[in-house]
Amino acid sequence: MESDRQLPTGEWNGFYLENHQPRRGWMHLYMSFADGKIKGEGTDYVGPWVAEGEYDLASRVCSWVKQYIGMHQVIYRGTVGENGIMGRWEISFITGEFHVWPKAMTHLNELYLADDLTQPEPTIQLGTVPTGESSAESASFL
C-alpha cells in the first residue's frame, strides 16, 4: 500500500465532464496504490468498470485505463494534488476533464453536489422529441 497521504487505498468519489452531457458524470471508485501501480474498480452511469495504471510520486503524475465491462476503454491522465487527482480523460478523439478524490474529503462531495443541485434542469436533451410533436413530424427535418 502507498504511504503517500494523497493516494490512500480505498473508496474514492469523482466525476468526469462530457460536452454532450449537461451534468457531471458521477462515479464511485475503489482505488489501490502500491509500488507505482494503480488498480481499481467502480461504476458510473455507463456501467461497471475495472482500471489499471501507474503513478509517479516524484512528478505527481498518474494515468490509468478504465475498461468498461464488455464495452470501451477510457484513458485517464492526471496530477495528484491536495484535492485528489485532476486531469483529462480520452476516448479516441473525444476528451474531457475529470476530478477524483478520496471519499473522506467530504467537503468536495458537498461542494460539487451543492453546485449540481443549484443548476437548472436542462429543458431539451439531444435526441429527444419536444412534447407535442410526434416522431414522424420531427423526423421530416432529418
CATH 3.30.70.120 fits 10-139, yes or no: no
pLDDT at 112: 78
pLDDT at 118: 73
- The string of pLDDT tens digits covering residues 64-100 is 999 999 999 999 999 999 999 999 999 988 999 999 9
- Tell me the domain boundaries of the chain: 10-139
C-alpha 72/C-alpha 109 separation (Å) is: 27
C-alpha 78/C-alpha 13 separation (Å) is: 15
User: What value does the mean pLDDT of the chain take?
Assistant: 83
Name the pLDDT band for 55 (thresholds 50, 70, 90): very high
- The string of pLDDT tens digits covering residues 6-34 is 899 999 999 998 888 777 889 999 999 99
C-alpha 60/C-alpha 58 separation (Å) is: 6
Residue 110 has pLDDT above 70, yes or no: yes
C-alpha 25/C-alpha 136 separation (Å) is: 32
- The string of pLDDT tens digits covering residues 114-133 is 777 676 654 444 444 444 44
Beta-strand runs (E) in the chain: 10-16, 25-34, 37-44, 48-56, 61-68, 73-81, 84-91, 94-102
Reference 97, options 19, 11, 13; nearest CA is 19
> Is the pTM for the entire model greater than 0.95?
no
C-alpha 4/C-alpha 18 separation (Å) is: 30
